[in-house]
Structure 1
C-alpha cells in the first residue's frame, strides 16, 4: 500500500545566524561581516529544495532578529517552516566565520550554548508530521546539543521507520559538543543503526568504528542492520557498499577549491535526492560527488548548492 505524503523529506536541526568576514585575516582584526545562515542539517534541506523536492524543516529559533532572519531565509529557499518554532526564553545561536581564499578551512567561533534549538525535544516532531513524509534526513549534530535533541533524534528515526518511511544519517561529527568521544561513539553508532543509509567520511568512520578502510567502516554498519553505506573520500570520490556489492565512484575534478565547508552537505544532498528518485546506486554516488564539487568552488556553506537545471547541465557535460 502506497503511503499518502505531503513532503518528500523532513529534516531537523539547528540553524544559526552566521557572520562571515568580508576580508581575510584573523577574526579579531576583521571589522566588516556579511550576515548569512549556517547549519549542516538545513544546508541539506535547502539543497534538496533547490532540486525540486518538498522539504519540511523542524527547529527552534529565539524571539530575536537572528531568528526572524533565519525564518525569512529558509522560507525564501522554499522550505516549509510551519514547524519552525519561536522560543521566547532562549536566544538564536550564531557563529563568526573567517574568510579564506586559499582553499583552507576557515576559523569558526560558535555562540550556541543554551540556544533555542538546544531545547528541542521529541514533541517538536510529532508522528503525524513523519507520517506525511517519504523520508527523514538526520545528522549527528542535533544529538550533540543536549538530552532533548538527542531524544528527538531517536524518536524521529524510530517513528519514521515504524510508519513506513526511510531514513538517512550523516554522522557529521562535532567532538567538541560531546562530553567525550566514547559517549559520542555510543550514541551516534546507536542512531546510525536506525537508518537505511549512512553517509560518513572516512575519518569520521574511523573514529566511530575503529576501522581504517572504507570496506571495514561499511561492514561495521551493515552488520548492524543498515541497508547501504557510502563513505566520502574527499577529492578521490566515494565508496558505496551494501550486502551484495561494493564499488568506488571517482570524484569530480575541481580546478580551484575555495571553501571546503558544506562539501559533505552537498554530497548528502546529491545522494539522498537521487536515492529518492530510485536511481541506481552508482548514479546516486555520482550525483553526490558532483554536488560536493559544486560546494567547494564557492565561498559559503550553501551558496554552491545547485538548482535542478544547473545540476543537469553539469551531469550532462
Structure 2
C-alpha cells in the first residue's frame, strides 16, 4: 500500500536575501523563515507530497523571479497573492564566526497584507493536512489581520488540519515585548505542534531552563524545544526525549538552522516516526545546513 503523503501549507513572508560570499561580495537569493522550512520540507518529502506557500508579493520583475524560484523548487505558488501597490522585502546577512545578524527593509512588503483577503486565505487552507507558520508571520500583520488569520486557522483545524508553529520571537517586529508574548501565547493555544527556541523563549518569557519552556507550553500536544548545539528537549503523547544534535566541527552560517530543523522534524513526524527519531532527523538536517552559506542548503 502506498505511504500517505501530506498536503502542507506554509504561511509567511519570503524576502530577497543578500548573503555574504568568501570574496567579500554578496549573492542575491530568496529566503525567509517559513519559506526556508517550506523549501527544506519539499526536499525531505517524496514527490507525491505537496508543499504550498501562502503569502503576497508585488507585480514587478523581482516578485516574478521570486515566484519562479519557488516553482522551480517544487513549491506550489498558486495561492500567492499579487499586489500592484507593494513589493517584496529584503534582508542582508552579516556573519561573525558563523553567527548571523540581519538588517531588514520590509516596510513595503506585500506579505504584510497576506490576511487582508479572508476568502483567499480560507481557500488556501482548505483541505490541508498541516499548516505551518511562525511568530514572524504574526508579527508582520496588523492586529485585525492577525485575528482573521487565527480564525481561519481554527476553521482549518475543525476541518481536520494540524497546525505547526515556531514562535521565532523577534522583538524588533513588535510594538512591545508584552504584545509579542501575548500574541505568541494566544497562537500556542491553538497549535498542535510547537517548535520554540530556548534562547528566544528565555529572553522573552524569562524561562530559566528548557524544561520551563516545555512546562509553559504544557497544553500543546507536541513540543520540541531547540537549544542551539545543546540537546533538544521534546514531549508528545506522554513521552519525553532528549536528543543531542550532531557535532559540527566548523559552523559556516547559522542562518536557517531552526527553520531546517523544523522541516526535518515535521517530515519525520508526519511520516509516523517516533518522537526521538523525528527530533534526530531535524537535528541532523540542521547540522548540515549550518555548514553551508545562506538559509537554503541542500541536505
Tell me the TM-score normalized by structure 2.
Answer: 0.91
1:47 aligns with 2:40: yes
Q: 1:85 deviation in Å?
A: 1.5
Match of 1:171 in 2: 167
Match of 1:34 in 2: 27
Aligned residues: 291
Match of 1:27 in 2: none
Among 71, 89, 94, the alignment partner of 2:85 is 89
Q: 1:129 deviation in Å?
A: 3.2
- Alpha-carbon separation, structure 1, partners of 2:61 and 2:94: 22
Match of 1:66 in 2: 62
Change in 2 beyond 3 A, CA 1:127/1:121: closer
Match of 1:193 in 2: 189
Q: 1:72 deviation in Å?
A: 0.8
SS where residue 80 of structure 1 aligns? coil
- Which residues in structure 2 correspond to 1:210-225 (within 5 Å)? 210-222=206-218, 225=219
SS where residue 14 of structure 1 aligns? coil
Q: 1:7 deviation in Å?
A: 5.7
- Alpha-carbon separation, structure 2, partners of 1:288 and 1:86: 33
CA-to-aligned-CA distance 1:126-161 (integer Å, 9 cap, x gap): 434323211011110011112165235413421221
Match of 1:104 in 2: 99
- Which residues in structure 2 correspond to 1:235-254 (within 5 Å)? 235-242=229-236, 244-254=238-248
Change in 2 beyond 3 A, CA 1:122/1:62: closer
In structure 1, the gaps of 5 or more residues are 25-29, 307-317
Q: 1:51 deviation in Å?
A: 1.6
SS where residue 98 of structure 1 aligns? strand
Q: 1:36 deviation in Å?
A: 0.2
Q: 1:91 deviation in Å?
A: 1.7
Q: 1:191 deviation in Å?
A: 0.3
Among 154, 161, 169, the alignment partner of 1:158 is 154
- Alpha-carbon separation, structure 1, partners of 2:116 and 2:264: 28
- Alpha-carbon separation, structure 2, partners of 1:76 and 1:234: 31
Residues 6 and 270, structure 2, Cα contact 8 Å, conserved in 1: no
Tell me the TM-score normalized by structure 1.
Answer: 0.86
Q: 1:289 deviation in Å?
A: 0.6
Match of 2:293 in 1: 299
- Alpha-carbon separation, structure 1, partners of 2:145 and 2:108: 12
CA-to-aligned-CA distance 1:80-127 (integer Å, 9 cap, x gap): 000112110112111222355x3232x422110131111121536543
SS where residue 252 of structure 1 aligns? coil
1:232 aligns with 2:226: yes
Among 128, 141, 147, the alignment partner of 1:146 is 141
Residues 13 and 59, structure 1, Cα contact 8 Å, conserved in 2: yes
Change in 2 beyond 3 A, CA 1:156/1:47: farther
Q: 1:70 deviation in Å?
A: 0.7
Q: 1:185 deviation in Å?
A: 0.1
SS where residue 191 of structure 1 aligns? helix
- Alpha-carbon separation, structure 2, partners of 1:201 and 1:89: 35
Among 130, 144, 169, the alignment partner of 1:135 is 130
Match of 2:269 in 1: 275
Match of 1:286 in 2: 280
Residues 121 and 151, structure 1, Cα contact 8 Å, conserved in 2: no
Residues 236 and 275, structure 2, Cα contact 8 Å, conserved in 1: no
- Alpha-carbon separation, structure 1, partners of 2:197 and 2:138: 18
- Alpha-carbon separation, structure 2, partners of 1:164 and 1:196: 11
